[in-house]
Homo-oligomer: A and B are copies of this chain.
Amino acid sequence: MPKNSFTMDDEINSEKINMKTLARVLNLSIATVSKALRDSYDISEKTKVRVREAANRLNYVTNAYASSLRKHRSNTIAIVIPEIADSFFSQAINGIESITGKENYHSLIYLTHDSYEREVSILNEFTSGRVDGVLISVASNTRDTTHISKLQQAGIPIVFFDRDCEQIPTASIKTDDFNSAYDATCHLIKQGCKNISLITVQGYVSIFAAREEGYKKALTENEIHTDNSNVIYCLNKYSEENIALIRNYLDKAKPDGLLLTVEHLATSVYLACIEIKLHIPKDIKVACFTNQVTAPVLNPPLTTILQPAYQMGQKAVGILFEYLSHKYTRLEDEHIIIPSKLVIRESTGAL
């Protein structure tokens, strides 16, 4: 056997190796090879060993497309997020991949660039079974959710993380946006702020609404008057326009406290303050929803609402996998909230 296996190797040296060639080399049927590789009960241990040895020796790799086509299962999930240059999402991805790797799943990362249109066309692709499930954080201007419903009707399970759509009945993993914003605003008030503005982004996503409500509740509870003039809506991407918008607003409205709802606003606000010579925290105190590691070395160190990104990613994919392994999870009943943590630093005047 070892003697002629060498010549056999030579024979198949240049050709593609698939199950057919494996079967020929081993003098078995393709079915037996397939079953041996999948550790089927009705193949003898001896044959399994032979097949595995040959597969290794010849660097056999199963053709994922053939396998997925036949099995109607791709062992692939989609991660659909607005943007990748955001610490929250990159940490969430790391959380997700810490699980998918172990489970022999692949993850496809799709970026919507926070555009509703891209989101629609990406999700439409999934209806043909390209992925077994979808983890999604929706674009901020997603209001019509028929593309998501359509995907559900096609039988693809969906789990929201962070940015969900409340009208879609499926699992969601979020952080406690309302309370986090409430706590951060209360902290600003306790630090002496009398005129606190919310800088947030345009869109229809519930988490931003929740953060806005938490902020407003803290104000009204502390008998600080609030109308919509102290809430300003930026573009949801780091841009010169945002910096200018913020600069003009600060110059005019002169708030003494700011709550920022997304990561990229922190840099914009800091730059705007430099431009119009506002000192943080003396002139204005700032807190931000962000996971960026540079927060403690900013000038000044930034008070953050630190979201449990890694755990949220893990939990989201965990629920999806439980559903996929037919443990009959009712996705629409799974609504998990993992609290964020207020990390107080000098930008809110703490010593």
Interface on A for B, CB 8 Å cutoff?
59, 61-66, 68-69, 74, 84-85, 87, 90-91, 93-94, 97, 101, 106-109, 111, 118, 124-125, 127-130, 150, 238, 264, 266-267, 270-271, 274, 292-294, 296-301
Are B129 and A65 neighbours in the complex by a CB distance under 8 Å?
A: yes
* Contact A63 to B129, CB < 8 A, known contacts A94-B84, A97-B111, A292-B294: yes
Are B59 and A124 neighbours in the complex by a CB distance under 8 Å?
A: yes
Q: So how many copies of this chain end up in the complex?
A: 2
Q: 9 closest pairs, A vs B, by CB?
A: A299-B299, A270-B297, A61-B128, A85-B90, A65-B69, A65-B68, A109-B109, A84-B90, A65-B65
Measured between beta carbons, the chain B residues less than 8 angstroms from A118 are 101
User: Which residue of chain B lies nearest to A68 when distances are taken between CB atoms in the complex?
Assistant: B65
**Bound state CA distance, A128 and B299, in angstroms?**
51
User: Which residue of chain B lies nearest to A297 when distances are taken between CB atoms in the complex?
Assistant: B270
A107 smallest CB distance to B (angstroms): 8
A65-B129, A93-B111 given; name 18 further pairs at CB < 8 Å. A61-B124, A61-B125, A63-B129, A64-B65, A65-B66, A65-B69, A84-B84, A85-B94, A97-B111, A107-B109, A108-B109, A264-B293, A266-B294, A266-B297, A267-B296, A267-B297, A271-B297, A298-B299
Measured between beta carbons, the chain B residues less than 8 angstroms from A62 are 128
Are A61 and B293 neighbours in the complex by a CB distance under 8 Å?
A: no
**Bound state CA distance, A127 and B293, in angstroms?**
37
Residue contacts A-B, CB under 8 angstroms, 30 given? A59-B124, A61-B124, A61-B125, A61-B128, A62-B128, A63-B128, A63-B129, A64-B65, A64-B130, A65-B68, A65-B129, A65-B130, A84-B84, A84-B90, A84-B94, A85-B87, A85-B91, A94-B111, A97-B111, A106-B108, A108-B108, A108-B109, A238-B293, A264-B293, A267-B297, A270-B297, A294-B294, A297-B299, A298-B298, A299-B300
Are A61 and B108 neighbours in the complex by a CB distance under 8 Å?
A: no
Measured between beta carbons, the chain B residues less than 8 angstroms from A69 are 63, 65-66, 69
**Bound state CA distance, A203 and B13, in angstroms?**
34
Measured between beta carbons, the chain B residues less than 8 angstroms from A65 are 64-66, 68-69, 74, 129-130
User: Which residue of chain B lies nearest to A299 when distances are taken between CB atoms in the complex?
Assistant: B299
Measured between beta carbons, the chain B residues less than 8 angstroms from A107 are 109
A23 smallest CB distance to B (angstroms): 16
**Bound state CA distance, A144 and B142, in angstroms?**
47
**Bound state CA distance, A69 and B66, in angstroms?**
6
**Bound state CA distance, A65 and B64, in angstroms?**
8
User: Which residue of chain B lies nearest to A128 when distances are taken between CB atoms in the complex?
Assistant: B61
Contact residue among B90, B267, B301 (Cβ-Cβ distance under 8 Å from A90): B90
A129 smallest CB distance to B (angstroms): 7
**Bound state CA distance, A293 and B239, in angstroms?**
11
**Bound state CA distance, A87 and B292, in angstroms?**
11
**Bound state CA distance, A128 and B18, in angstroms?**
9
Are A271 and B296 neighbours in the complex by a CB distance under 8 Å?
A: yes
